[in-house]
Amino acid sequence: MSQAPAALADALPIDKYKQAFQEEAREILVELESTLLELNQRPEDGELVGKTFRALHTIKGSGAMFGFDEVAAFTHDLENAFDRVRNGRLRVTPELVDLSLTALDQIKAMLHSANDSGVIDPAAGRNILAQLLHLTGSPDDVRPASAGASPIEVASEPTGEKVQWKICFSPGPGMLRNGADPLLVLRELKQLGELQVTADLSAVPPLAELDPERCYLRWEIALTTAAAREAIADVFLFVEDECELRIEPVAPPADNAASTAQPEETPCKFGRRSEDRAGMSSIRVPTPKLDQFVDLVGELVTVQARLGEIAARAERLTSALRENSMSIRMLPIRGTFERFRRLVHDLARDLRKEVELAIDGGDTELDKTVIDQLGDPLMHLVRNSMDHGIELPELRQAAGKQAVATVCLSARYSGANVLIEVADDGAGIDAAAVRERAIAKGLIDAGAVLTEAQIASLVLSPGFSTARQVTDVSGRGVGMDVVRQRVEALRGTIHLSSRPGLGTTVTLRLPLTLAIIDGLLVRVGHAFFVLPLASSLECVELTREDIASTNGKHVANVRGEVIPYIRLREHFNITSERPEREQIMIAETEDGRCGFVVDEVLGDHQTVIKNLGRFYRHVQFVSGATILGDGTVALILDPDRVIQDALKTVSEARRGHWVPPPTAPPGVSNGLQLNSS
Amino acid sequence: MAVTLDRRAVVSVVGLEGEVDIRAAVELKGILLAALESRQELRLEMAGLTALDITILQLLCAFARAAAKAGAKLILSEPMPKAMEVAMDLAGMGRVAVVTQ
């Protein structure tokens, strides 16, 4: 990580632009993919066609600008196809959409190979273009990329009367530095019709004062063309953010009242695209920089804990800074969700099922780290749903359901967590099949009756996925236990609910961020622990009398409610003396309310989560560690896992497998050393 | 891509070769300024120029003006390279063409 900023600084500016282009292109491609899939649903939607065309145009144009000539040439033909669609000369068919999607994959591969990190198959590209040619059926407009002509061309369709346009074009100060060359724009404009260009050189300063990387020229252009205003505006598509542009008809065509009634388009300063994007302006920050920033904030939080009381004011600042830095890391999950449209589309075709993807709560924001690692588990869940959950259309209709099934991806906040759901309206989990396999695997007795929760936990259990693979028709290499592991690695939990005939819902509960949480610092003997504040409810005292009154059972009576508790001293085998009065931290957990008995509650603590490292990765009840102001390490406990761990210990003790704490080596318990001396 | 300066007694020869664009603009400006210093005759050698962008046109335009102002004689290589011709035509600078002698 420390290498990355240096490498970035060393890179030539042009490489930086190339990298920026690749990133942007990838984003455009993701969006384009969704657009194409929508287009598949609504082939007549002109807006979608326009959007597709513009996206392709942008990739082609900026690709050529940054030296991705192959990408530009390849995209050109696809763009032409959609230009024909736009002009009503070609219809959107599922074949065209499918072919376009394949072409997008090819563009992605080309971008990838430009990084020396992948190989492309030129034959595949030629094949796609040949098919495209076959579909569009006109070799004049769509020629193979190998023909090698300039990619900067726009097919102009003589659609009607030639009109003269007056175009005022003055590049902004930053345009050249961003890699745009007005000459390319002018050349492209020339393709549209007869061009008369007059350069205004009056703003060019004396040589000594001239900034060589800034454009001082302005142009007045007279263009006589049959192309529509949109086609002219499209030429300026990727420079319009950085120039002043005015396009107006010189003499309004007599038979076209519409164009005179469009005065609103006349002054078009800094572009149409900026308007489109106003709602979603964003900044691109390299991840290493962000990580570094978050590390720094972490240090600051640690130092602040040392400053103690004096820092009351600094604390306000720190928390503001913390929230701010966290928000930088937050990204809407929509992008991740949208990517599944393609998967659902392709998979539905392969499985011969009819499936629609619904997305809800795409604006929900999650830590980038979480989002980055969520893709795979979600993909497995969606595949699972489509493969096993959703029935074939005939079966659905026979069951009285709509032939088209729905897979719904949704996200919403729940406290400091985000709930992500993958729901389908398929057949639900086949409880009988699960039972059968579980019996075969020796996981349950032949006569056992399973509850819904037990079925869910079987499906999620590690041994089970192997059994599925053997019997599975689809034979994917990944089972649900891998999904569970990935989600747990993100400090999340997974919940499965299924209703026969109605569908399955898998809910992932994930923390909003992995970096800093609000915690409650507690002490047991000399050991410090942090419990997540989000799940902490209240804190009550536990005296020796209380313990005596419950006959030594680990339950407390809190305002009439009986709450079980776990004594952390015993559970972690901490050997120090028990104080007269202890505290019970009551927390809301998956299994209901539960208490954790500690010596002292020290108060809330902004906790910078540090990973415990690979060596302790099997210690599940600890979600990380944090460093206190005085340098002491405090373990961050995961209440749910502590409870599960305790339940396991209890059940093992009942079966007689359990070794009671006194015989365990001092200070060692559950594989984790707690230095309590 | 290459921009060069050959200073002789009375003539400065500025050479442009290959693809010259914004990446060389800052260097070219330095060279043009240096060429202007106390020379009476300036030569632009562009026979090997294959491609250029607007930054170069703009610089040469400012250079021509500066030369005229300083009373220096500016000589362009003959014939004008194709790339230059095309670029000037596109940019609508045909009529602002630099003095050819």
pLDDT at residue A177 tops 60: yes
Tokens 């997008």, residue located: A104
Q: Could you confirm whether A112 is annotated as catalytic?
A: no
pLDDT at residue B42 tops 90: no
Instruction: Inspect the interface and report whether the beta carbons of A217 and B65 lie closer than 8 Å.
Output: no
Of residues A48 and A606, the one with the higher pLDDT is A48
Which of A233-237, A261-265, A355-359, A506-510 is least confident? A261-265
Please identify among residues 15-74 of chain B the ones whose CB lies closer than 8 Å to any CB of chain A.
Answer: 21-23, 25-26, 28-29, 32-33, 36, 53-55, 57-59, 61-63, 65-66
Instruction: Inspect the interface and report whether the beta carbons of A215 and B55 lie closer than 8 Å.
Output: yes
**pLDDT at residue B100, rounded to an integer:** 39
Q: Which residue of B has its CA nearest to A208?
A: B33
Of residues A353 and A260, the one with the higher pLDDT is A353
Write out pLDDT tens, residues A273-313. 433 433 344 666 767 777 777 777 777 777 777 776 566 66
Write out pLDDT tens, residues A119-138. 667 778 888 888 888 877 65
Instruction: Inspect the interface and report whether the beta carbons of B90 and A215 lie closer than 8 Å.
Output: no
Out of A40, A384, A417, A670, pick the active-site residue. A384
Class of CATH domain A149-270: alpha beta
pLDDT at residue A522 tops 90: yes
Q: In a 3-state reduction of DSSP, which class is residue A408? A: strand
A183: nearest CB among B36, B66, B87: B87
Q: In a 3-state reduction of DSSP, which class is residue B42? A: strand
Which residues, in sequence order, are CB contacts of A324 under 8 Å at separation 6+? none
Which residues, in sequence order, are CB contacts of A466 under 8 Å at separation 6+? A479
Most confident of A565-569, A606-610, B73-77: A565-569
The DSSP output letter for A93 is -
Average pLDDT over residues A467-474: 40
Which residues, in sequence order, are CB contacts of A204 under 8 Å at separation 6+? A210, A216, A217, B58, B61, B62, B65
What backbone phi and psi angles, to 5 degrees, belong to A671?
A: 75, 5
**pLDDT at residue A523, rounded to an integer:** 93
Express as a percent the part of chain A with pLDDT over 70: 79
Most confident of A103-117, A230-244, A519-533, A622-636: A519-533
| Distance, CA of A621 to CA of A617 (rounded, Å) | 10
**pLDDT at residue A463, rounded to an integer:** 59
**pLDDT at residue A666, rounded to an integer:** 38
Write out pLDDT tens, residues A201-217. 888 888 888 888 888 88
Which residues, in sequence order, are CB contacts of A141 under 8 Å at separation 6+? A80, A83, A84, A155
Residues of A in contact with B55 (CB under 8 A): 176, 212-213, 215
Most B-contacting residue of A195, A210, A243 (CB-CB within 10 A), to test interface: A210
| The two three-digit tokens of residue B75, written as one number | 């000589």
Q: Which CATH number fits domain A516-654: 2.30.30.40, 3.40.50.1010, 3.40.50.720, 3.30.460.20?
A: 2.30.30.40
- Provide the H-helix boundaries in A352-479: 368-384, 393-398, 431-440, 452-460, 462-471
Out of A40, A57, A365, A421, pick the active-site residue. A57
Q: CA-based diameter of chain B, in Å?
A: 37
**pLDDT at residue A310, rounded to an integer:** 63
Average pLDDT over residues A501-520: 81
Give A625: exposed, middle or buried? Use CB within 10 Å, 0-12, 13-18, 19+.
buried
pLDDT at residue A423 tops 90: yes
Q: For A1-148, CATH number?
A: 1.20.120.160
**pLDDT at residue B73, rounded to an integer:** 80
Please identify among residues 221-240 of chain A the ones whose CB lies closer than 8 Å to any CB of chain B.
Answer: 221
pLDDT class of A115 with cuts at 50, 70, 90: low
Most B-contacting residue of A170, A196, A201, A220 (CB-CB within 10 A), to test interface: A201
Tokens 């724009």, residue located: A185
pLDDT class of A462 with cuts at 50, 70, 90: low
pLDDT class of A475 with cuts at 50, 70, 90: very low
Q: Which residue of B has its CA nearest to A187?
A: B90
Average pLDDT over residues B51-57: 89
Average pLDDT over residues A510-536: 83
Residue A18's identity, in one-letter code, is K
**pLDDT at residue A581, rounded to an integer:** 87
**pLDDT at residue B8, rounded to an integer:** 67
| CA B37 to chain CA mean position, Å | 15
Q: In a 3-state reduction of DSSP, which class is residue A334? A: helix
| The two three-digit tokens of residue A488, written as one number | 């747990």
| Distance, CA of A521 to CA of A533 (rounded, Å) | 9
Instruction: State the smallest CA–CA distance between residue B78 and chain A in angstroms.
Output: 23
**pLDDT at residue A654, rounded to an integer:** 67
Residues of A in contact with B33 (CB under 8 A): 207-208
User: What are the distances in angstroms from CA A256 to CA A50, A163, A194?
Assistant: 22, 10, 21
**pLDDT at residue A360, rounded to an integer:** 92
Express as a percent the part of chain A with pLDDT over 90: 8
pLDDT at residue A535 tops 70: yes
Q: Could you confirm whether A57 is annotated as catalytic?
A: yes
**pLDDT at residue A119, rounded to an integer:** 63
pLDDT class of A118 with cuts at 50, 70, 90: low
pLDDT at residue A407 tops 90: yes
**pLDDT at residue A651, rounded to an integer:** 73
| Cross-strand pairs, A405 | A355
User: Is A149:A218 a contact under the CB 8 Å cutoff?
Assistant: no
Q: Could you confirm whether A571 is annotated as catalytic?
A: no
**pLDDT at residue A599, rounded to an integer:** 92
Residues of B in contact with A208 (CB under 8 A): 33, 66
**Closest CA relative to residue A364, chosen from A417, A323, A413:** A413
ipTM of the complex: 0.85
Which architecture characterizes domain A333-511 according to CATH? 2-Layer Sandwich (3.30)
Out of A33, A70, A79, A391, pick the active-site residue. A79
Of residues A479 and A622, the one with the higher pLDDT is A622
pLDDT class of A619 with cuts at 50, 70, 90: confident
Residues of A in contact with B87 (CB under 8 A): 183
Residue A660's identity, in one-letter code, is P
**pLDDT at residue A524, rounded to an integer:** 93
Instruction: Inspect the interface and report whether the beta carbons of A183 and B91 lie closer than 8 Å.
Output: yes
Instruction: Inspect the interface and report whether the beta carbons of B22 and A212 lie closer than 8 Å.
Output: yes
Which own/partner contact pairs does A479-486 have at CB distance under 8 Å and 24+ positions apart? A480/A380, A480/A384, A482/A377, A482/A380, A483/A377, A483/A380, A483/A381, A484/A460, A486/A373, A486/A376, A486/A377
**Strand boundaries in A427-560, DSSP class E:** 493-499, 503-511, 516-524, 527-532, 536-542, 555-558
**Strand boundaries in A291-433, DSSP class E:** 330-332, 355-360, 365-367, 405-414, 417-424
Q: State whether residue B90 sits within 8 Å of chain A by CB.
A: yes
SS3 of chain A: helix, strand, coil, percent, to 5: 45, 25, 30
pLDDT at residue A149 tops 50: no
| The two three-digit tokens of residue A391, written as one number | 């029935």
pLDDT class of A421 with cuts at 50, 70, 90: very high
**Strand boundaries in A100-232, DSSP class E:** 163-171, 193-200, 218-225
Write out pLDDT tens, residues A625-661. 888 878 889 998 888 888 888 888 777 766 654 444 4
What is the C-alpha end-to-end distance of chain B, expressed in Å? 26
Mean pLDDT of chain A: 76
| Cross-strand pairs, A627 | A633
| The two three-digit tokens of residue B65, written as one number | 């003006």
**pLDDT at residue A528, rounded to an integer:** 93
Domain boundaries, chain A: 1-148, 149-270, 287-331, 333-511, 516-654
